[in-house]
Structure 1
Amino acid sequence: MRIHRSIKQAPLLLLILLHLVACNKKKLDFEYDNRPTTENRKKSNVRVVNLGGYNQVIANGDSLTNFVVRGPNEDVQRYPGTSYFTKNGRLGKIWDVPMDLFGADEKSKLTTLVRNYGGNFNAEVSFTAENSYSTPIDYYLVNPFWAKDQPKMVAVPRGVTAPSKPDHFKIRIVNLSAVSADPGNNERGRQEDLTGPLTLAFADGTPVSDKTSNVSAATINSEYVELPYGTYQFRVLTADGRPMPGMSAYNQLPDYVTLDPATSTMALAANELTNQVFAPIASYQPGGIYTIVVSLQKYWYYQSAGSSEQYSAYQNMADLISDNNAAANLTYCRLQGANALNAQPINIRANGNQIAETLAFGTAGDYSNLITGTYTLEATDASGKVLATTAQQLRAGMNYTAWLYPAPDGSSKLLVVANDLSGVVYVGGSDDATYNRFKYDYFFYKRFLNLSPDNPYITFTLGNGQPLFAVGGNAQAAVNMQPGIPAIENPNVSNGLQSPPYEFMAYRSLPGVVPGSWADDIPVLKSDNFIARKELYTKPGRTVPVHEPGLYTVALIGSNKGGPKGKMMIIKHNK
Structure 2
Amino acid sequence: MNKLKYKFLPLFFLMVMILGQACKKDKLNFEADNRVLTDNRVNSTARVINLALYNQVIANGDSLTSFLTPSPTPGTPPKLPGTSYFPGNGYLTKIWNVPQDLFNAQEIVKLDFMTRSYQATLGNDIKTEVKNDYNNPTDYFLMPTFGMEGQPDVVQIKRGVAAPSKPDHFKIRIVNLSGKIKNPAFNSSGTLEDLTGSVSLAYSDGSFVNPKTNNISSATQTSEYIEVPYGTYQFKVLMQDGRQMPALGSELNQYTILDPPTSTIPKDIMNSTALTYAPIQTYQPGGIYTILIAPQRFNYLINENAETADTYQNSFQVLNDNTAAVNNTYFRIQAANAWGTDAVSFKVDGKTIASDLSFGGSGAYSNFIQGSHTIEAADASGKVIASATQVLRPAQNYTVWLSPDAAGAPKLLVVANDLSGATYSGGPAQEDATYARNQYRYFFFKRFLNLSTGNPYITFTLNNGQSIAGGEDNPNAGVNLQLGIPLFEHPYVSSSYSQSPYEVMVYRSKPNVVPGVWANDIEVLKNDAFIANKDLYLRPGRALPVHEPGIYTLSLIGQSGTGSTPATKAKMIIIKHNK
Amino acid at match of 1:395: R
In the aligned structure 1, how far is the partner of 2:376 from the partner of 2:4? Answer: 89
Asked if 1:320 is matched to 2:324, the reply is no
Shift in Å at residue 29 of structure 1? 4.4
Aligned residue pair count: 568
Shift in Å at residue 510 of structure 1? 1.4
Match of 2:338 among 325, 337, 340: 340
**Counterpart of 2:444?**
444
Shift in Å at residue 23 of structure 1? 9.0
**Counterpart of 1:367?**
365
Shift in Å at residue 84 of structure 1? 2.2
Amino acid at match of 2:512: G
Matches within 5 A, 1:426-505: 426-430=424-428, 432-435=430-433, 436-470=436-470, 472-505=472-505
What's the TM-score once normalised by structure 1's chain length?
0.93
2:123·2:144 contact (CA, 8 Å) conserved in 1?
A: no
1:259·1:301 contact (CA, 8 Å) conserved in 2?
A: yes
1:457·1:483 contact (CA, 8 Å) conserved in 2?
A: yes
**Counterpart of 1:562?**
564
Amino acid at match of 1:265: T
Distance 1:431 1:480, change over 3 A: closer
In the aligned structure 2, how far is the partner of 1:268 from the partner of 1:45? Answer: 43
Amino acid at match of 1:571: I
Uncovered stretches (5+) of structure 1, i.e. residues with no partner:
none
2:473·2:494 contact (CA, 8 Å) conserved in 1?
A: no
Question: Alignment partner of 2:489: what SS?
Answer: coil
Please list every run of at least 4 consecutive aligned residues from structure 1 whose deviation after the TM superposition is greater than 6 angstroms: 1-7, 16-23
- Identical-residue share of aligned pairs (%): 50
**Counterpart of 1:309?**
307
Residue by residue, what CA displacement relative to the aligned partner does 1:404-450 show, whole Å, maximum 9, x if unpaired?
Answer: 01223021010000110111000114465341100111111111111
**Counterpart of 1:402?**
400
Shift in Å at residue 393 of structure 1? 1.2
Uncovered stretches (5+) of structure 2, i.e. residues with no partner:
none
Asked if 1:278 is matched to 2:277, the reply is yes
2:444·2:551 contact (CA, 8 Å) conserved in 1?
A: yes
Match of 1:572 among 568, 572, 576: 576
Distance 1:431 1:319, change over 3 A: same
**Counterpart of 2:549?**
549
Shift in Å at residue 472 of structure 1? 4.1
Distance 1:516 1:21, change over 3 A: closer
**Counterpart of 2:420?**
422
Amino acid at match of 1:189: G
Shift in Å at residue 17 of structure 1? 7.8
**Counterpart of 2:112?**
111
In the aligned structure 1, how far is the partner of 2:167 from the partner of 2:305? Answer: 53
Shift in Å at residue 56 of structure 1? 1.5
Matches within 5 A, 1:179-198: 179-198=180-199
Distance 1:28 1:424, change over 3 A: closer
Shift in Å at residue 223 of structure 1? 1.0
Distance 1:498 1:105, change over 3 A: same
In the aligned structure 1, how far is the partner of 2:469 from the partner of 2:496? Answer: 9
**Counterpart of 2:294?**
295
Residue by residue, what CA displacement relative to the aligned partner does 1:466-500 show, whole Å, maximum 9, x if unpaired?
Answer: 11025743211111111111111111123321111
Shift in Å at residue 343 of structure 1? 2.8
1:472·1:490 contact (CA, 8 Å) conserved in 2?
A: no
In the aligned structure 2, how far is the partner of 1:4 from the partner of 1:376? Answer: 75
Distance 1:192 1:27, change over 3 A: same
Amino acid at match of 1:476: N
1:342·1:558 contact (CA, 8 Å) conserved in 2?
A: yes
Distance 1:30 1:357, change over 3 A: closer
In the aligned structure 2, how far is the partner of 1:29 from the partner of 1:231? Answer: 46
2:111·2:130 contact (CA, 8 Å) conserved in 1?
A: yes
Question: Alignment partner of 2:212: what SS?
Answer: helix
Of 220-229 and 113-122, the range deviating more from structure 2 = 113-122
Matches within 5 A, 1:192-231: 192-231=193-232
2:123·2:146 contact (CA, 8 Å) conserved in 1?
A: no
2:248·2:298 contact (CA, 8 Å) conserved in 1?
A: no
Question: Alignment partner of 2:160: what SS?
Answer: coil
Shift in Å at residue 154 of structure 1? 0.7
Matches within 5 A, 1:10-409: 24=23, 29=28, 34=33, 35-36=35-36, 38-73=38-73, 76-121=77-122, 123-248=124-249, 250-252=250-252, 254-304=253-303, 306-409=304-407
1:334·1:367 contact (CA, 8 Å) conserved in 2?
A: yes
The two structures, once aligned, show a CA RMSD in angstroms of 2.5
Of 146-155 and 229-238, the range deviating more from structure 2 = 146-155
